[in-house]
Amino acid sequence: MVTKAQSRARAAQLQAAFVEAGAQVVEADILQPAEVLLDLYGEDIRGRAYVTSDPLQGECMLRPDFTVPVVREHMENGATPARYTYSGKVFRKQEHDDGRASEYWQVGYELFDGTDSAAADAEVFALFSDLLAPLGLRASTGDIGILIAAVDGLQTSDARKIALKRHLWRPRRFRALMDRFGGRKPVPETRVAMLKMVAGGIDAAIEAAGPDNGLRTADEVAARVRKLQAEAEEPALSGGELDILETILSLRETSANALENLRDIAVDMPSIQPAVQRMEARLEALAARGIDAASLDFEASYGRTTLEYYDGFVFGFHAPLRPDLPPVTSGGRYDALTKVLGQGRSIPAVGGVIRPELVELLAGGQA
Amino acid sequence: MTLKLGVPSKGRLMEKTFDWFADRGISLRRTGSDREYAGAVDGVDGIELVLLSAGEIPRELAAGRIQLGVTGSDLVREKIADWDNKLIELEPMGFGYADLIIAVPKFWIDVDTMDDLDAAAAAFRREHGFRLRIATKYHRLVREYLRECGVADYQLVDSQGATEGTVKNLTAEAIADITSTGETLRANHLKILSDGLIHKSQATLFRGRRAGWTEQMRADYAVLLEKLG
């Protein structure tokens, strides 16, 4: 059993190591404006964060993570490059009684630096790896950037690419879209009937269906009908391209082998070339920091089910003998998040968090 | 301590519940004046009747203040997190049918499935700058269903009544509500999505966890189960 005092001491020790590495200590309010988090994560966050209301500020959430407030703070006041560390409780509502903590410590390290992404990725990963070395954890890595590049490289319409990228973080929905666009799943009958019906004029069909009702206008309905018409005209994704995507999604190898595989795939899908080169540069940067980069586990789909903001390198450290525990550490690159929160400005950023309670538990009282 | 059976305190749900138990040889009745919420049970020993609002029965069951209760299966799923670890569904009772569904304006000819709703929500957000609003009072059930279907870019807005009117009143673009005949939906120019059925609800007899039951309660419960067949 880990006491609160032990967790606090462990958090302080971990944060001291981040300060040692050059990070500036930042604080974040526990009460965060709900709107920002809802716009970013969608309504699902309501099921996972504690929502409360303030008579003046309106809806608030107990902070479910530090990344969002730290990024907002940096986008408003920070100069790049910057290294930050924070330490405190985060709060996650648990809907199922499976023993997961609803409040726990997070100690984090975030690096905002656009000069050399590979070096920044390696700096963050190596820092966590060194700190956690005594625990004998197993590292997993992935790269969402390769998936995004693969979707961008498909020989298909922008509408389809946008739809696929929007659901990159919802694997089941992503697969359903692949099946639909690849012609592996039939178009719903009602869709076929609708397209037949609008052949005699879209506006007339909308008017015949019912009166204007609500904020979404008939023009918006007509615009989407035209998109569906275009979609119906568009040829299915080729089986070859679907196979490539499938191969990437299921890629699970050591980093050295994964890189080799991806290079081969890039011959047929040149769009992933830059992302593969970034991966190669990162592996070199990791090796330069003394990490055995070639044998690191690489899973192309790693990080797809987390909160959706990672868009490049992702990593996690797990205790191999305790599969019941959540990852001790997780992190990754989130350039797109800074764009969303920076109102147009964006700053390449990478970071990660440690859960000191888990470190304490696994260290079993060792210093 | 005796077994407490929670039953909806008024209306058709109460009457139908009384009929259902009567068919199985157990007579439930209200005692005292019309307005007094007191009841009696005949035909089986050791059961005490508690008259409650149907909406409170899930909570009382989960808290263990009543051991048995009749309420809508939708209410249990909505109000109790992880309900199937806390309550047991003993018998669906065959009345109080209501479907929790997702409905959109009829003239949205481009939207027929949850996939369509998701695509329309993405376009709506780009156009209007905020997430498509779905009015409901079943927040948990609706959110879980939408997550399962992979719908994003929506928000739930709370509506405790007249939910079908929220679209016309411009406070929501779509609704998730219970319907039995669909009459109100039609009158408000709304249609149900073809895969928009979230839950088929009916009045159901539930039992709470048996932790803390006495020998006597267990024995009385066994007799009751026998009667209910």
The answer, for B168 touching chain A at a CB cutoff of 8 Å, is yes
Q: Which residues of B touch A206 (CB under 8 A)?
A: 107, 109
Minimum CA–CA partner of B175 in chain A:
A214
Q: How many CA atoms lie within 13 A of A76 on its CB side?
A: 6
Residue A112 labelled as part of a binding site:
no
* B227 C-beta neighbours (distance < 10 Å), count: 12
Q: What is the pLDDT of residue A307?
A: 64
Of A43, A166, A215, the CB nearest to B143: A43
Q: Is B85 near chain A, with CB under 8 Å? A: yes
With an 8 Å Cβ cutoff, are A47 and B81 in contact?
no
Put simply, whether B63 touches A (Cβ < 8 Å) is no
Q: How close A264 gets to chain B, by Cα (Å)?
A: 32
Residue-wise pLDDT tens digits, A298-341? 999 998 876 668 899 999 999 999 998 999 999 999 998 888 88
Distance between CA atoms of residues B33 and B37, nearest Å: 8
B171 in reach of chain A (CB within 8 A): no
State how far residue B104 is from chain A, nearest Cα, in angstroms. Answer: 9
Cβ contact B82–A96 (<8 Å): yes
CATH class of A4-137+319-363: alpha beta
Q: Which residues of chain A have pLDDT under 70?
A: 306-308, 365-367
Return the SS3 of B10. Answer: coil
A89 phi, psi to nearest 5 deg: -80, 145
Nearest CA in chain B to A197: B109
Q: Which helix (H) or strand (E) holds B195?
A: strand B190-201
Question: HEC string of chain A?
Answer: CCCHHHHHHHHHHHHHHHHHCCCEECCCCCEEEHHHHHHHHCHHHHHCCCEEEECCCEEEEECCCCHHHHHHHHHHHCCCCEEEEEEEEEECCCCCCCCCCCEEEEEEEEEECCCCHHHHHHHHHHHHHHHHHHHCCEEEEEEHHHHHHHHHCCCCCHHHHHHHHHCCCCHHHHHHHHHHHCCCCCCCHHHHHHHHHHHHCHHHHHHHHCCCCCCCCHHHHHHHHHHHHHHHHCCCCCHHHHHHHHHHHCCEEEHHHHHHHHHHHHHHCHHHHHHHHHHHHHHHHHHHCCCCHHHCEEECCCCCCCCCCCCCEEEEEECCCCCCCCCCEEEEECHHHHHHHCCCCCCCEEEEEECHHHHHHHHCCCC
Q: What is the pLDDT along chain B (229 residues), one digit of tens a residue?
A: 899 999 999 889 999 999 999 999 999 988 877 767 778 899 899 999 999 998 999 999 999 999 999 999 999 999 998 899 999 999 999 999 999 999 999 999 999 999 999 999 999 999 999 999 999 999 999 999 999 998 989 999 999 999 999 999 999 999 999 998 889 999 999 999 999 999 999 999 999 988 889 999 999 999 999 999 8
Residue of B nearest to A93 (CA): B81
User: What distance in Å separates residue B183's CA from the closest CA in chain A?
Assistant: 15
Closest by alpha carbon to A146, among A246, A256, A255, A273? A273
pLDDT tens per residue across span A28-59: 999 999 988 988 888 888 888 999 988 888 89
In order of B15, B218, B225, the CA distances from B43 in angstroms are 18, 17, 13
- The residues on A that touch B, with CB distances below 8 Å, are 38-39, 42-44, 46-47, 95-97, 163, 166-167, 170, 172-173, 176, 188, 190-191, 194, 197-198, 205-207, 209-216, 218, 220-221, 223-225, 228
Residues of A in contact with B144 (CB under 8 A): 47
Nearest to A43 among B81, B150, B154 (CB): B154
Tell me if chain A has a CB within 8 Å of the CB of B91.
no
> B115 to chain A: which residues are within 8 Å by CB?
176
Residues of chain A with Cβ-Cβ distance to B132 below 8 Å are: 216
Q: Assess B206–A contact: CB distance below 8 Å, yes or no.
A: no
Which residues 6+ apart lie within 8 Å of A306 measured at CB?
Answer: A169, A314, A330
Q: Is the distance from CB of A269 to CB of A156 less than 8 angstroms?
A: no
Beta bridge partners of A300: none
Contacts of A321 (CB under 8 A, 6+ apart): none
Q: Does B109 touch chain A (CB under 8 A)?
A: yes
> E-assigned strands of B9-143?
27-31, 38-42, 47-52, 68-72, 88-92, 98-105, 132-136
- Whether this model's ipTM surpasses 0.95 comes out as no
Q: What is the DSSP string of B13-37?
A: HHHHHHHHHHHTT-EEEEESSTT--
Alpha carbon distance B218, B224 (integer Å) = 10
Domain layout of chain A by residue ranges: 4-137+319-363, 159-236
Tell whether residue A310 is among the known ligand binding residues.
yes
Please give, rounded to a whole number of angstroms, the shortest distance from the CA of B81 to a CA of chain A: 6
- Asked if residue A61 lies in contact with residue A50, where contact means CB atoms within 8 angstroms, the answer is yes
Of B107, B128, B150, the CB nearest to A170: B150
pLDDT at A1: 78
* DSSP label at residue B89: E
Output the six-digit token pair for A155: 């020989």
What are the strands of the beta sheet with B68-72, ordered from one edge?
B47-52, B3-8, B68-72, B203-207, B88-92
> Which of A310, A308, A305, A318 shows the shortest CA–CA distance to A354?
A318
Question: Inter-chain contact A42–B153, Cβ cutoff 8 Å?
Answer: yes
Query: Which pLDDT belongs to residue A367?
Result: 44
What burial letters (b/e) apply to B187-198, b meaning 16+ CB within 10 Å?
ebbbbbbeebeb
Q: Does B140 touch chain A (CB under 8 A)?
A: yes
Which residues have C-beta within 8 Å of that of residue B49, sequence separation ≥ 6?
Answer: B5, B7, B28, B39, B40, B41
Q: How far apart are CA B76 and CA B32, in angstroms?
A: 30
Residue A95 half-sphere exposure, CB side, CA atoms within 13 Å? 17
Per the annotation, does A302 bind a ligand? no
Task: Name the residue with tokens 């157990």.
Answer: B26
Q: Is A67 annotated as a binding residue?
A: yes
CB < 8 Å to B84, chain A: none
Strand-strand pairing, A103-112 and A349-354: antiparallel
Query: How distant is the Cα of B177 from the closest Cα of chain A, in angstroms?
Result: 17
Backbone angles phi, psi at A292, to 5 degrees: -80, 75
φ and ψ at B94, to 5 degrees? 80, 20
Q: Closest partner residue to A191 among B112, B150, B173, by Cβ?
A: B112
Beta strand pairing call for A349-354 and A329-333: antiparallel
Whole-angstrom CA distances from A209 to A95, A212, A357, B119, B171 are 40, 9, 58, 20, 22
> A304 among the known binding-site residues?
yes
User: Half-sphere exposure of residue B128, counting CA atoms within 13 Å on the CB side?
Assistant: 20
Q: Which domains does chain B have, with CATH numbers?
A: 3-96+203-228 (3.40.190.10), 98-201 (3.40.190.10)
Contact yes or no for B112 and A228 at CB 8 A: no
- The answer to whether A65 is annotated as binding is yes
CA–CA separation, A188 and B117 (whole Å): 14
Could A188 and B113 be called an inter-chain contact, meaning their C-beta atoms sit closer than 8 Å?
A: yes
**Total beta-carbon pairs less than 8 A apart between chain A and chain B:** 112
Cβ contacts of residue A225 below 8 Å, gap of 6+?
A194, A198, A202, A205, A206, B109, B110
The residue of chain A with its CA nearest to that of B168 is A214
Q: Which of A113, A104, A61 is CA-nearest to residue A351?
A: A113
- Is A190 in Cβ contact with B123 (below 8 Å)? no
Nearest-CB residue to A214 (from B82, B139, B170): B170
Q: Which residues contact A266 (CB under 8 A, 6 or more apart)?
A: A272, A273, A276
User: φ, ψ for residue A214 (rounded to 5)?
Assistant: 100, -175
